[in-house]
Each structure stands twice: as C-alpha cells, then as structure tokens.
Structure 1
Amino acid sequence: MYHNRFGWKHLAGLSTFEGRRLRRKHFPQVVLDELAATIAHSEQHHAGELMLAIEAVAPAHEPDTRQRALEVFGRLGVWDTPLNTGVLLYLALDRHHIELIADRGVGAPDAEWQTICTQLRKDLAAGRYREGIRAAIEAIEAVCRQYCPAALSAQNHLPDQPIML
C-alpha cells in the first residue's frame, strides 16, 4: 500500500469547495466512461482487478485519508475477489491525496506503487487528470501483469466504472 499527496497547496476551509469543483471540471461522464473502458481493457491481460474511487469531499468521520481509503477498500469489496488480487486507486480530491491499496494476492513491492503515485501526483498537480489517471491505470496493469498473471478462470468480479463517492 502506498499513499501520496497530490502536491498542491492545501487551503483549509476551501477544500470542500475545491473537491467539488475538481470533480465537476475533470470527471464528466465521458471521462468516467473512457476510464472504465481503459480498466476493462487492462483487466483482459492479468488476474488483477482494479477499482478507481474518486471522492470529492471526504467524510468528516474519518480525517485520516489512508484510513478512509482502507474503509473504501472494504466497503466496495475490493478485498473480496477470489484470487485476492483487488487493487484500489483512491483519489481524495478535497484532501489532495492519492492512495493505492493492493490486496495480498498482488505481491508487488511498495516501490512499484510509489512510482505510480509519484507520477500521478505530478500529472494531477499539472492539471492532467484524464491523462494522468489513464497512465496510472496502464502502470497498474503492468504491475498486475508481472505479479498476478492471467488465470484460466479469471472473471471480472468488480465493476470497471469509476466509483464517485
């Protein structure tokens, strides 16, 4: 599991507004559909199952973004794939955080996830949301190809459509 801040200036009091603004601006339905297609295509080449969760405004009950991502990981059932190969890419827009959580069936070292988060952080800080997330999905695919190759009975157990929280 790896986490990383986007690298933007975090302005207290404006984070809720900022999260909602970023969601409206960067994640219209056409972008979400494109990202879903990218996820679906990537999952044809390995047994990993990726979920993308984007939260405009994180709930007040969990101030720690890492803990919130773990909560989302559990609530969305990412941990409940038959081969334990679920991967969650979680973006907390208002908190400017990225969390990448992989289940125990994906034996990739933290350095692999750190590289992906570092590049995604740079892309998001530069305003390249669509391109950055697409590149992160492709990088996650490469990790999954290496650490959880395609299984004969691999099925898609998690939705490909990004989850907007």
Structure 2
Amino acid sequence: MTQQTPQQPGHGQSTASARPSRLARLFRHRLWDEADARRVLPEAALTRLSGRVTQSEQRHGGEIRLCVEASLPLSYLWRHAPARERAVTLFGKLRVWDTEHNNGVLIYLLLAEHAIEIVADRGLNLRVSAAQWHTVIEGLRSYLQGGQFEQGLMEAIRAVEGLLAEHFPPTAAPPRNELPDAVVVL
C-alpha cells in the first residue's frame, strides 16, 4: 500500500491558540521534555489509555493511535511550524495510514502548547464533516485548559470511537489489531 497524505479534518482546526513570537515559543518548548510528559501522564495513566484504545477497537473496524509529545523538535520551532504539521508527520511515521480500510486515526497531544490534533486517514475523513471534527476538538478544550490531559485523551478516544463505530461498524470476523494500542510518548 502506498502512503497517501491524510486529509485535514476540520480544515486545520486545533486547540492551539494564536501564534506567539518565535523566541517565546522556543523558550516554552525548551521547558518541556519527555520527563514532563511522563509526570503529566504517569505509567498508570498510559496503561489506562492503552486499555481504552484496545476496548474501543472492539466496537468498530478502525484503528486509533495516541501520541503525546512534550515539545516540538527544534527544526519545527525554527520554521514556526504548527502542531498540525508535526501530527501529520507522525501520522506517517507511526504508519497510521497503513490500515486495510484506510480508517486509522491519530490523536496527537502537544503538551507545550496544550494542543490536540486529530489526523484521520481518507477512509474515515471522507465520511466525517469538518463540523464534526470541529465538535470533537471543541469538546477537548476545557480538559486541556484545566490540565486534565488523561481525561481529555479519554474523551478524544470516546468521540473518535463514535465516529468509527458509525462509519466502520464491527464485522462478524474477529477484530484485527493492525496498529499497536500503546501510547507513544515523545
């Protein structure tokens, strides 16, 4: 299967706020590292999130990946690249696009900006409107603003699960787990 560039749900809608200056953004990102990500989402939380992904995938024919990144790599900061660009890159690197029915979804959380991005492969994205993706993103704002990262990710899984169940209901065949359910922490 050849890799295809995923559609951009919500036409770039995200929880990121107005763009700060390059220096301010660089400073904020340098304050966050993987240890901070593991402090905000300790091993027990990561286990619960992974379990929730596994449970969710029993209810539909899609695949969900979670990726939590403390801060953007320096190359992204230097170019003032948005979190969305990084999420699309990770969608490819984590092979979320590589599912039989093109229905993989990446839920990406960037801690330094409290931004969440959802990147869906074309099989699902062609069936979900920009307004629906916007509703999912808006539902997460209060969790992120309140520092409730685990709860926000649980809500994101629930919302994406609903969309996948609607458009890719489970089949009679046992579900195939095409992608790992473990949360990727960078």
Q: Normalising by the residue count of structure 1, what TM-score does the alignment of the two structures yield?
A: 0.89
Which moves more between the two structures, 3-12 or 25-34? 3-12
| Secondary structure of residue in 2 paired with 1:45 | coil
Structure 1 residue 162 corresponds to structure 2 residue 183: yes
Structure 1 residue 65 corresponds to structure 2 residue 117: no
Structure 1 residue 95 corresponds to structure 2 residue 116: no
Work out which of the residue numbers 129, 134, 150 in structure 2 matches 1:109. 129
Change (3 A) 1:6 1:126: farther
- Equivalent position of 2:101 in the other structure: 83
Superposed CA deviations along residues 40-66 of structure 1, whole A, max 9, x for unmatched, are: 001001011000001112112232321
| Secondary structure of residue in 1 paired with 2:68 | strand
User: In the TM superposition, what is the alpha-carbon distance from 1:146 to its structure 2 partner?
Assistant: 0.7
Displaced runs of 4 or more, over 6 A: none
Mapped to 2, the partners of 1:59 and 1:151 lie a distance apart of 40
Provide the alpha-carbon RMSD of the alignment: 2.1
Work out which of the residue numbers 14, 20, 27 in structure 1 matches 2:28. 14
| Secondary structure of residue in 1 paired with 2:58 | helix
| Secondary structure of residue in 2 paired with 1:113 | helix
Q: Which runs of 5+ in 2 are unaligned?
A: 1-8
- Equivalent position of 1:4 in the other structure: 14
Mapped to 2, the partners of 1:25 and 1:111 lie a distance apart of 34
- Equivalent position of 1:135 in the other structure: 155
Structure 1 residue 51 corresponds to structure 2 residue 61: no
| Secondary structure of residue in 2 paired with 1:112 | helix
| Secondary structure of residue in 2 paired with 1:58 | coil
Change (3 A) 1:159 1:148: same
User: In the TM superposition, what is the alpha-carbon distance from 1:21 to its structure 2 partner?
Assistant: 6.5
| Secondary structure of residue in 1 paired with 2:74 | coil
Superposed CA deviations along residues 115-165 of structure 1, whole A, max 9, x for unmatched, are: 111111211101221212112111111111111111344411111111112
Mapped to 1, the partners of 2:15 and 2:38 lie a distance apart of 20
Change (3 A) 1:48 1:105: same
Specify the structure having the higher radius of gyration (Cα): 2
In the alignment, is the contact (CA less than 8 A) between 1:6 and 1:124 conserved in 2? no
**What fraction of aligned residue pairs are identical, expressed as a percent?**
34
Change (3 A) 1:80 1:33: same
Mapped to 2, the partners of 1:89 and 1:155 lie a distance apart of 20
Q: Count residues with an aligned counterpart.
A: 165
